[in-house]
Structure 1
Amino acid sequence: MKKHIKIALLAAALLAIYPLATWLALNCYQDDPADMVWTDREAYNRKFISNLDLTTAVQQDQVQHKLGGPDITEAYQSTADLYQLVFYRTQRDISDGITTKVECTALLYRNRQLIAVGDAAQQQFLQMQPGRP
């Protein structure tokens, strides 16, 4: 009989600890893209980028803090502004070990502030460069 009581108490203790441990893991553990496998990193990047809000000021260092360094970067310096087009991988196209722009989502920064995401970012960046209409 005592053995059954001990087992029941142990089970109750574990059931009480499990929700606390789960809450701590979900609310205190920060994801680090550098430690993720590529499939998880792509999903993480995709989710984070889809939640970016261009109506509020989003700084480049805020994004890099969450996503790490970009997979591909291009830049253009005008007389007044620095434009940076960065690419984060969000989907796999060909399993060849090389990340291409097709596998990425673009983010465009002007003076380190986010101004466009996705295809619009690429189009704006191309239009700003000299020799473009």
Structure 2
Amino acid sequence: MKLKPVMLFIAGFVVYLLLTLTVLMFYKDDPEQMSWQHRENFNAKVISRYQLTAAHTQDDITNRLGGPDITQAVKIDGEIYQLFFYRTHRKLPDGITTEDECTALLFINRQLVAIGDTAVAQYQQHASHGNS
């Protein structure tokens, strides 16, 4: 008779485990539904995992992170340079997102080529040469 409660507990635990694994494997994070604190942490975590040695397209990144907080773009000699800023760390609680609260991602022809300060420097270099 004591075996029945143990079996029920094990069956319940297995069902719980299967449901948890299903959610973890098939539930996609939606940055648009996150609070700003969770979104900052999410952005920082995802961006820190990007390696420039792998091919990352602009579509892949916007599908994962959502739209950028700030965007700059310029077309030079047929190449499109886009600088996306995703907020990853808040400095002032003023409700305004500024570039210094973000991590930059540089895309050339929709391919990720630089991250962070390097992305900003490369974009500024290309943009200033293209406009002169």
TM-score exceeds 0.5: yes
Gapped runs of 5+ residues in structure 2? none
Name the aligned partner's letter for residue 46 of structure 1.
A
Of 62-71 and 31-40, more deviation after overlay is shown by: 31-40
Measure the CA separation in 1 of the matches of 2:25 and 2:39: 19
Give percent identity, aligned residues only: 47
Q: 1:89 aligns with which of 87, 90, 94?
A: 87
Q: Secondary structure at the match of 2:89?
A: coil
Distance 2:12 2:96 in 1: 46
Runs of 4+ aligned structure 1 residues displaced above 6 Å come to none
Aligned-partner residue type, residue 24 of structure 1? T
User: For residues 37-65 of structure 1, what are the alpha-carbon distances to aligned partners after superposition, in whole Å with 9 as ceiling and x for unaligned?
Assistant: 11111111111111111112211000000
1:46 matched to 2:44? The reply is yes
Q: Distance in 2 between matches of 1:9 and 1:106?
A: 54
RMSD: 1.9
Q: When the two structures are superposed, what TM-score results if normalisation uses the length of structure 1?
A: 0.89
TM-score using structure 2 length = 0.90
The equivalent residue for 1:67 is 65
Match of 2:25 in 1: 27
Q: Distance in 2 between matches of 1:130 and 1:107?
A: 18
Stretch moving more, 106-115 or 5-14: 5-14
Q: Per the alignment, in what secondary structure is the counterpart of residue 129 of structure 1? A: helix
Number of residue pairs matched by the alignment: 131
Paired letter, 2:51: D
Q: Structure 1 regions of 5+ residues with no counterpart?
A: none
- Name the structure 1 match of 2:77: 79
Q: Distance in 1 between matches of 2:78 and 2:54?
A: 22
Supply the distance in 2 between the matched residues of 1:93 and 1:27 (Cα, whole angstroms): 34
Q: Cα offset for 1:80? A: 2.3
* 2:100 matched residue in structure 1: 102
1:99: Cα distance to partner?
A: 0.7
